């Protein structure tokens, strides 16, 4: 099977045409592309920890951490490094291969950078991939993070450039693109996506995906968030997103960025198992795992693993030097998988 070629010249009309395909045709095409680049029954698992919460100077209308809105969220100081490492160790034991750390900053300050760099080094030493979201980055800040060993930097575009000013006014769309460019130049991988359900129309969703897919290099990770409405924010009463529109977004993202991990991110708690399963069918192959997603709740880890078992999905494993205990555990998991694989039908195989 020849893999679908990566493209960086998508037009708005091409993306619209994908969105408007009959639902079954769209999912079939997305799943076909997905299988060309990934194991369809593996999902990358990440855990996200807020290392500094609240009092952010930005005015993002969806965010409970913004200092512009009264959401009842208490301001917290930067977490101690030991606490962060302990959380990372616990996340790894629960099956996470990547640990993401987020701080409610416009950009990191000089006084906080040494602590942040040490967090990266210590989490990395656990054998986990590392990711951070700290706001805007200058070239030298991106370089420092890269030298500390940071694997991924998350900086979402949120929505289309056309709709952007309806959501945020304290930083520009170009500011975000400049940060992504600084991250790339430093040699780190990019985690960049957006949020659905903020009152945007289909053309805004199309515009976001075209912007992402036409970057010089596709983001390695594309988080697709469904708005979590938080009391006290300007978007608390926005109309609910149609679930099928969200699944279409996942599918079109998969088709336009075939080799990227497409992540089910915020909003999963509002999705039932059937909706999440359709998202996996549409090409989602990454989730945040655990009880909290920054300051909004996320489905409990046990529920995630129960769903994985129902679907025959297993967590994607990061390639690394394993300890003897890890190898033993992995072997036990492999034996269990082999013992139960007959329960799942491989739709790619032709019938005899």
Residues involved in catalysis: 56, 60, 63, 100, 131, 191, 263
Three-state secondary-structure class, residue 58: coil
Q: Is 192 annotated as a binding residue?
A: no
Structure tokens given for 325: 């205990």
Q: Which residues pair with 99 in a beta bridge?
A: 47, 130
Residue 279 assigned as binding residue = no
Whether residue 7 is annotated as binding a ligand: the answer is no
321 is in an annotated binding site: no
Residue 100 annotated as part of some ligand binding site: yes
Cβ atoms of residues 136 and 175 within 8 Å: yes
Question: In the chain, which ranges are E strands?
Answer: 42-52, 98-103, 129-133, 152-154, 189-191, 194-196, 221-226, 261-264, 286-288, 292-293, 296-297, 314-315
CA neighbor of 41 nearest in space, from 318, 311, 313, 306: 313
Report the candidate in 180, 194, 114, 112 with the shortest Cα–Cα distance to residue 147. Answer: 114
349 known ligand binder: no
Which residues are part of a known binding site for [2Fe-2S] cluster? Answer: 100, 131, 191, 263
Which residues are part of a known binding site for [4Fe-4S] cluster? Answer: 56, 60, 63
Which residues are part of a known binding site? Answer: 56, 60, 63, 100, 131, 191, 263
């Amino acid at each position: 099977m020849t893999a679908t070629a990566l493209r960086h010249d998508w037009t708005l009309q091409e993306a619209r045409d994908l969105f408007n395909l009959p639902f079954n045709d769209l999912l079939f095409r997305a799943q076909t592309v997905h299988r060309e680049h990934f194991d369809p029954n593996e999902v990358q698992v990440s855990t996200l920890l807020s290392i500094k919460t609240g009092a952010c100077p930005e005015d993002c209308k969806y965010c409970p951490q913004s200092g512009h809105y009264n959401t009842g969220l208490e301001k917290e100081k930067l977490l101690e490094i030991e606490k962060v490492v302990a959380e990372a160790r616990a996340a790894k034991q629960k099956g996470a291969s990547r640990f993401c750390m987020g701080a409610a900053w416009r950009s990191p300050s000089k006084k906080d950078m040494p602590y942040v760099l040490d967090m990266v080094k210590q989490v990395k030493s656990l054998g986990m991939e590392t990711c951070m979201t700290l706001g805007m980055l200058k070239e030298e800040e991106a370089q420092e993070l890269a030298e500390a060993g940071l694997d991924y930097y998350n900086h979402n575009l949120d929505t289309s450039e056309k709709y952007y000013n309806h959501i945020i006014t304290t930083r520009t769309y170009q500011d975000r693109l400049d940060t992504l460019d600084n991250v790339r130049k430093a040699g780190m991988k990019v985690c960049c996506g957006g949020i659905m359900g903020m009152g945007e129309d289909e053309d805004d969703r199309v515009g976001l995906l075209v912007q992402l897919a036409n970057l010089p290099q596709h983001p390695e990770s594309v988080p697709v968030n469904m708005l979590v409405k938080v009391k006290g924010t300007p978007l608390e009463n926005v109309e609910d997103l149609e679930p099928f529109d969200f699944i279409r977004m996942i599918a079109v993202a998969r088709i336009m960025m075939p080799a990227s991990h497409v992540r089910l991110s915020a909003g999963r708690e509002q999705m039932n198992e059937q909706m999440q399963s359709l998202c996996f069918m549409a090409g989602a192959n990454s989730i945040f795992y655990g009880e909290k997603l920054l300051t909004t709740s996320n489905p409990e880890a046990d529920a995630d693993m129960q769903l994985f078992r129902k679907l025959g999905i297993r967590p994607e494993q990061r390639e690394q030097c394993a300890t003897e205990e890890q190898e033993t555990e992995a072997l036990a998991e492999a034996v269990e998988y082999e013992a139960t694989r007959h329960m799942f039908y491989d739709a790619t195989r032709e019938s005899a």
